[in-house]
Structure 1
Amino acid sequence: MQYAEAIDYLYSRLPVFHRIGAKAIKPGLGNTRLLCEALGNPQDQFTSIHVAGTNGKGSTSHMLAAIYQSAGYRVGLYTSPHLRSFTERIRINGQPIPEDAVARFVEQQQESIERIEPSFFEVTVAMAFDYFAREAVDIALVEVGLGGRLDSTNVITPVASIITNIGYDHTDILGDTLPQIAGEKAGIIKPGVPVLIGETHPETEGVFRAVAESVQAPIAFADQRYMIQDNGIVQGLRQVHVSQENESAYSVKLDLLGDYQLKNLPAALATIDVLQPQFPVSLVAFQSGLAAVTSLTGLKGRFQTLQDRPRVIADTAHNGPGLEALFQTIRSIVYSKLRIVIGLVADKDRGHILDVLPQTAIYYFCQANTPRSLPADALQAEAALVGRMGSVFADVNAALSSAIQDSSVDDLVLITGSNYTIAELTNL
């Protein structure tokens, strides 16, 4: 079986979330456990860190992967969704899984796949765990796909669990209150395993403390432990001062430039500190990793500048809280006019998203080539009802081309709204 055949097989035979949404989810961990049993339970053969949260879990996972790589460890990284190639989901030291390894896995596991009838995501999780075990990684960062309690990745027993933050997203699946959503995310907390919470919130703090106490898991709220001071961007890197009570202060530089990364940083700091006895990291390695996350891990689409004059930025923010954080960063930039290229999926809470979008921007509405996408003309009509005006385009590249053509050199063009929109950019 060739790689293209393997990918076609996975997409055609298995329910895929990014195409059909919640209907692709198969509740429970049973299928994943069966797939892993057929593989000899690879999830038990490597050390892992589990990362959940409404926003920031991908960036936090990549930060930690870069830090541990800089410290000399062999680091696995499992994230989703991918932007350009399926192989991006599964990496070791920043290098995607080889295409022939994907093809070989699908060919060898075809009987199990057809017998168990898992989802696309369940198969990719099993593939990642098998690859990490075979390649003997020292540690793997495993990002939750959705929620936590019933997410396919939740068959691991990590050495640390991270929950970055809680916000309103996937409320049709996870619940429509912050405590309900927190309860689902808290499902990754394991007996005796330290759990690091990135952002404290009065509605969810009690949920996390109660779950941690019930399984005797040490818990720390990272934003209460670390003081983060932003000193701006110098020579393309965000300068950050870090301090904590009774400890020496130090500085780090981030190549992930969004202001919102300052909220992700404490969880990464806390994780490194908690695991220091088992996985020592020097300050030099820590600083080197944070300054080169994108080059070390291949991360794209996080406040990524695609060109200057006019400046074009791509960001995968795709829900209300994520977009609020994005526009906080946008407000710190000097520009003449703001032009926003945007496409959304149809199953999001668009009311909140549209309210977050700045009314003074000029909009270029588009849609990604996936059945979950909201038609661009429908997005235009809904946006117009709340005073966000713009034109419709066939795809993101046509929209971007028009936005650049309309711009002066001092304008800012932002592309956002969906992973799938960003993924179709030609020059990403």
Structure 2
Amino acid sequence: MPRSDASLDDWLAYLESLHASEMELGLDRVMIVYRRLMPEGLPGQVVIIGGTNGKGSTLAALESLLRAGGDSTGAYTSPHIRRFNERIRIDGEEATDEAICRAMAAVERARRNVPLTYFEFTTLAAFWLFREAGVAYPLLEVGLGGRLDAVNVADPVLSIITGVDLDHTQWLGNDREQIGYEKAGILRAGRPALFGDPDPPSSVTDQAAAQGIPLRIRGRDFGGEDGEGGLAASQQTALEAYGILGFEADSGLLATLREAPAPPGRFQRLEGAPPVILDVGHNPQAARWLAQRLSDIPEKPVQAVYGAMGDKDIEGVSGTLADVIDGWHLAPLPGPRGLTAEQVSDRVSGVIPDDRIRTFQSVREALASAREAAGKEGCVLVFGSFLTVSEALALLGS
């Protein structure tokens, strides 16, 4: 266990040494420690938010509504872009290093000899901080899947699935029905749930029907097309959740919702010549959304900085964006799952013409090349991974 004066970096390094695997789905280990840490469970009106894409945006929109209405919130999201503290917010403010270290020490005392993954440990630390702060509405973003994700040890009054598409197929299954089954694991019998997309797989609707869950579906029971009424799909879903929690949004709250900035790395635009757009999207569904947004912007050409993990559908992503991106500046990603630029090039070359692909040894080099190619009339898109976006933001000084 780290010393009493250990820094947050010391704790994070320690967590990385605790478990042999970066990821191990299952609730047995984390449930043991959770019950030791807070025998009464996580207090407050818990909302769990899962789905393939849009989890962070939906959580941020609901957080904005609750805070504007005067209610206290805790927000737990992952992964972070620039610093770990982004993962834990209390009333809109990132948790301090000191507070997170206290929470981690509390989890360590409760853990004893139970092995926890990095995500399981930090999830419980967030829960501890929310309980300590007495937040009324803990908002929890699923890390992966849902059924076996660590946040699912909490007992939600409302569950939200933003949508289901192909991603993390090696863990969740190879089609929407299998993935939907895993994501529907956050539903609770008899308690309300939302599906933030007009096309839920039957694995979700069947589970809802079997458990007597009043499942409301965007486009059928609330909301409409993405952007309808000036609200993105994630905002429509958050607004419906706000109503289910017992509140009514007046015109002032609706204005707050429309004007609320998107979370960092979600089509985040940094003005300049050229402007730079950053998006953490990394699967075909996210790429379809990106393609639509890029087709609407006036700046052309679009030059992309792209890095990817080896387990992602690189061919599907690049094929979806082939018609809206004019140049591909490929960068490497670190870690065992990260690919070199040359490996990414091998996988996109069957979809993108070779004369539109360039490879680089760093995000810095790829970003410089993309900005030069875009000129003053075009724009740069940085996407494909939280790691790529994080490094680009640091380089751009944002």
Instruction: State the TM-score, normalized to the length of structure 2.
Output: 0.91
Aligned-pair CA distance for 1:321: 0.7
Aligned-pair CA distance for 1:227: 4.7
Matches within 5 A, 1:108-187: 108-113=106-111, 115-187=113-185
Matches within 5 A, 1:53-92: 53-92=51-90
Which region of structure 1 is more displaced relative to structure 2, 264-273 or 301-310?
Answer: 264-273
Q: Over residues 356-402 of structure 1, what are the superposed CA-to-partner deviations in whole Å (9 max), with x where a residue is unaligned? A: 13156111100233332111111122222323432222222221122
Aligned-pair CA distance for 1:198: 0.9
Answer whether contact 1:339 1:412 (CA < 8 A) is retained. Answer: yes
Residue number in structure 2 paired with 1:287: 255
Which region of structure 1 is more displaced relative to structure 2, 60-69 or 393-402?
Answer: 393-402
> Does 1:8 find its partner at 2:6?
no
Instruction: Give the Cα separation in 1 of the matches to 2:251 and 2:144.
Output: 33
Instruction: Give the Cα separation in 1 of the matches to 2:25 and 2:299.
Output: 46
Residue number in structure 2 paired with 1:378: 343
SS at 2:113's partner residue?
Answer: helix
Q: Over residues 56-75 of structure 1, what are the superposed CA-to-partner deviations in whole Å (9 max), with x where a residue is unaligned? A: 11110111111111111111
Matches within 5 A, 1:333-352: 333-352=297-316
Instruction: Give the Cα separation in 1 of the matches to 2:108 and 2:158.
Output: 33
- Of 215, 219, 225, which residue of structure 2 is paired with 1:219? 215
The one-letter code sitting in structure 1 at the alignment partner of 2:360 is F
| CA shift in 2, pair 1:131/1:280, >3 Å | farther
Q: Over residues 16-61 of structure 1, what are the superposed CA-to-partner deviations in whole Å (9 max), with x where a residue is unaligned? A: xxxxxxx532232111111212212464322211111111111101
- Of 243, 263, 274, which residue of structure 2 is paired with 1:273? 243
Residue number in structure 2 paired with 1:322: 286
Answer whether contact 1:344 1:417 (CA < 8 A) is retained. Answer: yes
Answer whether contact 2:322 2:351 (CA < 8 A) is retained. Answer: no
Aligned-pair CA distance for 1:183: 0.8
Answer whether contact 1:366 1:399 (CA < 8 A) is retained. Answer: yes
Aligned-pair CA distance for 1:155: 1.1
Aligned-pair CA distance for 1:300: 0.3
> Does 1:410 find its partner at 2:380?
no
Instruction: Give the Cα separation in 2 of the matches to 1:25 and 1:370.
Output: 14
Instruction: Give the Cα separation in 2 of the matches to 1:341 and 1:308.
Output: 16
Answer whether contact 1:68 1:289 (CA < 8 A) is retained. Answer: no
Aligned-pair CA distance for 1:229: 6.5
- Of 320, 327, 331, which residue of structure 2 is paired with 1:362? 327
- After superposition, the CA RMSD in angstroms is 2.0
| CA shift in 2, pair 1:97/1:43, >3 Å | farther
Answer whether contact 2:37 2:110 (CA < 8 A) is retained. Answer: no
Instruction: Give the Cα separation in 2 of the matches to 1:404 and 1:66.
Output: 34
The one-letter code sitting in structure 2 at the alignment partner of 1:384 is S
SS at 2:139's partner residue?
Answer: strand
Answer whether contact 2:322 2:352 (CA < 8 A) is retained. Answer: no
Greater strand content: 1
Q: Over residues 137-178 of structure 1, what are the superposed CA-to-partner deviations in whole Å (9 max), with x where a residue is unaligned? A: 110211111111111111111111111111011111111121
Residue number in structure 2 paired with 1:394: 361
Answer whether contact 2:45 2:156 (CA < 8 A) is retained. Answer: yes
Answer whether contact 1:68 1:281 (CA < 8 A) is retained. Answer: no
| CA shift in 2, pair 1:229/1:194, >3 Å | closer
Answer whether contact 1:365 1:399 (CA < 8 A) is retained. Answer: yes
Answer whether contact 2:107 2:125 (CA < 8 A) is retained. Answer: no
Aligned-pair CA distance for 1:280: 5.0
Instruction: Give the Cα separation in 2 of the matches to 1:274 and 1:286.
Output: 16
Answer whether contact 2:194 2:241 (CA < 8 A) is retained. Answer: yes
Which region of structure 1 is more displaced relative to structure 2, 118-127 or 388-397?
Answer: 388-397
Instruction: Give the Cα separation in 2 of the matches to 1:100 and 1:175.
Output: 39
Answer whether contact 2:48 2:139 (CA < 8 A) is retained. Answer: yes
SS at 1:141's partner residue?
Answer: strand
Residue number in structure 1 paired with 2:387: 420
The one-letter code sitting in structure 1 at the alignment partner of 2:183 is K
Instruction: Give the Cα separation in 2 of the matches to 1:222 and 1:188.
Output: 18
Instruction: Give the Cα separation in 2 of the matches to 1:407 and 1:267.
Output: 36
Unaligned 5+ segments in structure 2 are 1-5
Unaligned 5+ segments in structure 1 are 16-22, 231-239, 243-251, 255-261
Identity of counterpart residues, as a percentage? 31
Answer whether contact 2:16 2:118 (CA < 8 A) is retained. Answer: yes
Number of equivalences: 387
Aligned-pair CA distance for 1:77: 0.5
Matches within 5 A, 1:34-45: 34-41=32-39, 43-45=41-43
SS at 2:179's partner residue?
Answer: helix
SS at 1:24's partner residue?
Answer: coil
